[in-house]
């Protein structure tokens, strides 16, 4: 059953984009996107430095297909501020409504409440969604290698550059990683979770990160829930993380984040 979830999500995204286009034509979105470039916060810089410290992208996620409701009525603004106080490098906000109960309003509320760069976390299958992200003031978008052709990956990376928005290129396998390297991805998210089966194995990022080139930033994503997980990754040379569920469900997300970062 889990195996076709990714296909369902992608099919849904295509319908969603088609519907959005009829409401807001691409030309209008393009104009909006171009007026936002001056407001951008650098997602890349936030992750690049300081090199010797743990850097965490803290996620705002209400629900997911694998877990159901996680924290369906969370307060995105309050959580963004707690994450910022706890030392987050950046935020990730789910903007998919159908499967994750998120939306653009969450992204806006979170970004307006803090000074951190914000990643639009969604299933990007069209350039339209990248213009949308830029128009909403997002600082970065997720590009999932598994759901894109080589040509789309290359086109979408180029468009991100053009719009001054960063891309977090998500991989799960060696061949995904090769495709990410081919487009010169600077920030590579290694998802420990297989998006089709939901199996999560935190060894995935540790073993794949060894294959990254110099100057590429590895971000271990999914299934990180303790300082012990972080320390294990640090030994493997990974010091950047994308963390959702364990932060969203923590009694005190600020304190928990501080503890994860250590030092
Ligand atoms: O909640 P977790 O296990 O800490 O995982 C966060 C993040 O990695 C996960 O939400 C994620 C990674 N890649 C995705 C792609 C789409 C949606 C969600 C994701």
- Dist. CA 134 → ligand 1 center (Å): 21
- Dist. CA 4 → ligand 1 center (Å): 18
Does the beta carbon of 95 sit less than 6 angstroms from any atom of ligand 1? no
What pLDDT, in 10s, does the model give residues 36-61? 888 999 999 999 999 999 999 999 99
List the domain boundaries for the chain: 2-261
Does the beta carbon of 59 sit less than 6 angstroms from any atom of ligand 1? yes
- Compute the C-alpha angle 198/203/206, nearest 5°: 125
Q: Which of 161, 151, 160, 96 is nearest to 130 (CA)?
A: 160
Does the beta carbon of 229 sit less than 6 angstroms from any atom of ligand 1? no
Task: Give the ligand 1 atom nearest the CA of 142.
Answer: 15
- Phi, psi angle pair for 16, to nearest 5°: -60, -45
- Dist. CA 217 → ligand 1 center (Å): 17
Residue 72 to residue 57: CA distance in whole angstroms:
20
Distances (CA, A) of 246 to 65, 102, 193, 194: 16, 17, 15, 18
Does the beta carbon of 245 sit less than 6 angstroms from any atom of ligand 1? yes
Task: Give the ligand 1 atom nearest the CA of 224.
Answer: 4
What pLDDT, in 10s, does the model give residues 54-90? 999 999 999 999 999 999 999 999 999 999 999 999 9
Task: Give the ligand 1 atom nearest the CA of 225.
Answer: 4
What pLDDT, in 10s, does the model give residues 117-141? 999 999 999 999 999 999 999 999 9
Q: CA Rg, the chain, in Å? A: 17
Smallest CA separation from ligand 1 atom 7, residue: 222
- H or E segment at 223? none
Residue 34: its pLDDT value, please? 87
Residue 106 to residue 40: CA distance in whole angstroms:
18
Does the beta carbon of 61 sit less than 6 angstroms from any atom of ligand 1? yes
Site to probe by mutation for ligand 1, drawn from 8, 222, 233 as the one with most ligand atoms within 8 Å of Cβ, is: 222
Per-residue pLDDT band at 263 (split at 50, 70, 90): low
- Dist. CA 32 → ligand 1 center (Å): 28
Q: Is 138 exposed, middle or buried (0-12, 13-18, 19+ CB in 10 A)?
A: buried
Domain boundaries 2-261, CATH class: alpha beta
- The rounded percent of the chain whose pLDDT value lies above 90 is 95
Q: Which of 161, 91, 149, 90 is nearest to 124 (CA)?
A: 149
- Please list the residues that pair with 153 across neighbouring strands: none
CB neighbour burial string for 22-50, b if at least 16 within 10 angstroms, e if fewer: eeeeeeebeeebeebeeebbebbebbbee
Tell me: pLDDT of 1 over 60. no
ipTM exceeding 0.95, yes/no? yes
- Dist. CA 67 → ligand 1 center (Å): 11
Smallest CA separation from ligand 1 atom 13, residue: 191
Does the beta carbon of 170 sit less than 6 angstroms from any atom of ligand 1? yes
The pTM of the full predicted model, rounded to 2 decimals, is 0.97
Does the beta carbon of 102 sit less than 6 angstroms from any atom of ligand 1? no
Per-residue pLDDT band at 226 (split at 50, 70, 90): very high
Smallest CA separation from ligand 1 atom 16, residue: 122
């Amino acid at each position: 059953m889990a195996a076709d979830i990714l296909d369902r999500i992608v099919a849904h995204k295509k319908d969603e984009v088609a519907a959005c286009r009829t409401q807001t034509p691409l030309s209008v979105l393009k104009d909006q996107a171009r007026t936002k470039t001056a407001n951008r916060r650098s997602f890349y810089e936030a992750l690049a430095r300081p090199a010797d410290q743990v850097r965490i992208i803290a996620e705002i996620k209400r629900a997911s297909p694998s877990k159901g409701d996680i924290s369906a009525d969370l307060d995105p603004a309050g959580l963004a501020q707690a994450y910022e106080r706890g030392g987050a490098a950046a935020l990730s906000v789910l903007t998919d409504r159908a499967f994750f109960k998120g939306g653009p309003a969450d992204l806006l509320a979170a970004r307006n409440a803090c000074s951190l760069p914000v990643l639009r976390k969604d299933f990007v299958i069209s350039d339209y969604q990248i213009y949308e992200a830029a128009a909403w003031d997002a600082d970065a978008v997720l590009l999932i290698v598994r759901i894109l052709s080589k040509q789309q990956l290359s086109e979408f990376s180029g468009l991100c550059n053009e719009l001054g928005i960063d891309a977090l290129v998500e991989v799960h396998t060696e061949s995904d990683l090769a495709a990410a390297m081919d487009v010169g991805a600077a920030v590579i998210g290694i998802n420990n979770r297989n998006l089709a089966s939901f199996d999560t194995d935190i060894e995935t990022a540790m073993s794949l990160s060894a294959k990254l080139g110099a100057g590429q930033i590895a971000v271990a994503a999914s299934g990180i829930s303790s300082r012990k997980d972080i320390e294990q990754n640090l030994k493997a040379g990974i010091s950047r993380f994308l963390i959702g569920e364990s932060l969203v469900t923590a009694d005190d997300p600020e304190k928990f984040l501080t503890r994860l970062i250590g030092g």
